[in-house]
Amino acid sequence: MFNEKKIIGILGGGQLGKKVLDVSNNWGLDVFVLDPDKYCPSSKLCKEFFEGDLMDYETVVKFGKLCDIITIEIENVNVEALKHLESLNKKVYPQASVIKIVQDKSDQKKFYQNNKIPTSSFKILNGIDEIKNKITKGDISFPFIWKASKMGYDGYGVKKIVDNKSLEEINDCHCIIEELIDIKKELSVMIGSRESGEIVVYPAVEMEFNKNSNQVEYVISPAQIEQSIKSAAEDLAYKVSETFNLTGILAVEMFLTNENELLVNEVAPRPHNSYHFSIEGSYTSQFEQFLRTILDLPLGSTKILQNSVMVNLVGDSDSKGKVAYKNFDQIIGIEGVNEVETVINKVLNLGLESADLDFDLTLARGLNYYTGSIFEVEAKGVNMGSIGGGGRYDDLTGVFGLKDLPGIGISFGLDRIYLVLEELGVLPSLEADFTQVLFVNFGDKEADYCLKVLSELRKAGINSELYPDPAKMKKQMNYANKKCIPYVVLVGEDEMNSGLLSVKNMKDGSQSNFNLADFIKLLKS
């Protein structure tokens, strides 16, 4: 594949290194690995494996001299050794200067502060005694976040301190104290940068953390946020990467506050667990992109291949033996799982302007006739509970003598909706209106396309709907006539390719093609 074959050396042989090797072996690359554990995940997949301490200067230098390019899959490595290798004209990616900053969270914080990169307020302290002294003086108050400056990794070395008891549970070491921030979401953006200057940005993803382990439990791609916030997050990550002048990949973790402010939390200059989904969810996985950056090859597309939700399965610290997946075949065969996947994908594809979609396995409606998905609707900003709810039921009509008729339904509490509207002060602005546009349903592909157009019409204040299923044309037209809908839109393969809408005027029977902007003007005229 390559005219000039170079030996790549990876410091660290964990699961991140193993996934890099999955790509490098397909490319025919020679990769050496150094790790203290001879049974590490990468030991059997690399060209040459070396057992040794990543923090030992001589060990790292000796290993690096065997390689043309040296990189990392964990930040806890000897930086002075990497600096020496750079002086020998070895390629070290990410650069030793970057790794040095990332190794120390207090240095990271000062780096953000000095370069005007938004981050949460912090204090750098030497240990527990200084923390207690600051608390006594009133300079620090509970609750706050404690982080060990060094050797923290994957949730370790981070703790929420709520009282003196929890303070006694932390290590007595150099640390930072951060104010506790009310956050809406935790986001991550991956940046790829090659030496020749090309930079690519992956779409922002949303992370949900396990409260007990402080590890990422779920990753949602793309993040369920407004487009303006998504763009701002990606721009901020780009700025961070440029400021570091990094060659390689960089995961930028950030907080989205309740005021829609973005704050950089920390970075990882290597493959990151927030982008594992990219193996199948992106055109170019983070592991392939990582190799492209350090080899100075043209960077791959960061576009989303399919919407994804990643679940991080972490065993207990003392667990041993092979991983066992119990009842996996039964789970993936459940029809309801496929139904939930379809719903989530449709919603993610369409996008949400102001609503949030939460998937909750613990939700129970208390009625025993539901047989599939159930759902509830809540009003944001109002302490009202649910204002609507429903779900799937396969044989509810059997109670009344009509067997085997599946259905789905939802009900809304009008009194609750009225109270919500009244509390939000939007009731006087409501106006009765009828459907102006019906989109004909020709199938899933066309329906997905129509939903996006429909969304734009609704943004413009035009009441629109999509016929619920791909029924016969006559039936859909009759529906429009019965509801006195003035315009019916037909979208097939030709319309999707051209970007035009075939619009039928139901009053005079005429049919014309419009682009979206002109159609909106017609409806508003």
Per-residue model confidence as pLDDT tens digits over 35-89: 999 999 999 999 999 999 999 999 999 999 999 999 999 999 999 999 999 999 9
Please give the average per-residue pLDDT across 83-103, as a whole number. 95
Residues 128 and 116 both lie in one domain: no
Please say which residue of 129, 146, 179 terminates a domain: 179
Look up the CATH number of the domain holding residue 512: 3.40.50.800
Please give the average per-residue pLDDT across 222-246, as a whole number. 94
Ranges of H-type helices in 127-212: 128-137, 164-167
Confidence of residue 428 (pLDDT cuts 50, 70, 90): low
Lowest mean pLDDT among 360-364, 389-393, 434-438, 446-450: 360-364
Is residue 99 domain-resident? no
Please give the average per-residue pLDDT across 322-345, as a whole number. 67
Lowest mean pLDDT among 31-35, 125-129, 295-299, 360-364: 360-364
pTM over 0.75: no
Is residue 418 domain-resident? yes
Residues 431-469: tens digit of each pLDDT: 456 899 999 999 989 999 999 999 999 999 999 999 999
Q: Is the peptide bond before 428 cis (omega within 30 degrees of 0)?
A: no
Look up the CATH number of the domain holding residue 138: 3.30.1490.20
Lowest mean pLDDT among 311-320, 389-398, 405-414, 426-435: 426-435
Residues 194 and 133 both lie in one domain: no
pLDDT at position 76: 92
Q: What percent of the chain has pLDDT over 70?
A: 90
Residues 113-155: tens digit of each pLDDT: 999 999 999 999 898 889 889 888 888 888 898 889 887 655 5
Residues 490-504: tens digit of each pLDDT: 999 999 999 999 999
Rounded Cα distance between 211 and 410, Å, is 33
Please give the average per-residue pLDDT across 183-203, as a whole number. 94
Average pLDDT, rounded, for the chain: 87
Residues 214 and 241 both lie in one domain: yes
Is residue 141 domain-resident? yes
Residues 414 and 312 both lie in one domain: no
pLDDT at 13 over 60: yes
Could you list the residue range(s) of the whole structural domain that residue 157 is in? Answer: 121-179
Is residue 366 domain-resident? yes
Enumerate residues 6+ apart whose C-beta is below 8 A from 141: 135
pLDDT at 255 over 90: yes
Look up the CATH number of the domain holding residue 383: 3.30.930.10
The single-letter code of the amino acid at 369 is Y
Residues 115 and 233 both lie in one domain: yes
Highest mean pLDDT among 111-125, 165-179, 300-314: 111-125
Residues 351 and 459 both lie in one domain: no
Please say which residue of 429, 447, 463 terminates a domain: 429
Rounded Cα distance between 20 and 290, Å, is 8
Lowest mean pLDDT among 229-238, 289-298, 433-442: 433-442
Please say which residue of 147, 179, 211 terminates a domain: 179
Rounded Cα distance between 36 and 38, Å, is 6
Is residue 163 within 8 Å of residue 170, measured between CB atoms?
no
Top pLDDT among 366 and 19 is at 19
Is residue 28 domain-resident? yes
pLDDT at 190 over 90: yes
pLDDT at 1 over 70: no
pLDDT at position 341: 72
pLDDT at position 414: 86
Residues 162 and 113 both lie in one domain: no
**Structurally, how many domains does the chain consist of?**
5
Look up the CATH number of the domain holding residue 248: 3.30.470.20
E strand or H helix at 409, and its extent? strand 407-412
Rounded Cα distance between 201 and 203, Å, is 7
Provide the token pair at 516: 């979206």
pLDDT at position 330: 65
Residues 80 and 4 both lie in one domain: yes
- The four Cα atoms 313, 318, 319, 321 give a dihedral, to 10 degrees, of 130
Highest mean pLDDT among 76-90, 197-211, 365-379, 469-483: 76-90
Residues 307 and 345 both lie in one domain: no
Provide the token pair at 306: 């399919």
pLDDT at 346 over 70: yes
Is residue 97 domain-resident? no
pLDDT at position 218: 85
Confidence of residue 402 (pLDDT cuts 50, 70, 90): confident
Highest mean pLDDT among 14-18, 310-314, 332-336: 14-18
pLDDT at 219 over 60: yes
Is residue 328 domain-resident? no
Look up the CATH number of the domain holding residue 13: 3.40.50.20
pLDDT at position 179: 85
Please give the average per-residue pLDDT across 16-31, as a whole number. 93
Q: What percent of the chain has pLDDT over 90?
A: 54
Residues 304 and 208 both lie in one domain: yes
Residues 114 and 131 both lie in one domain: no
pLDDT at 109 over 50: yes
Confidence of residue 311 (pLDDT cuts 50, 70, 90): confident
Residues 171 and 275 both lie in one domain: no
Is residue 326 domain-resident? no
**Helix pair 15-27, 286-294: axis angle to 10 deg:** 70
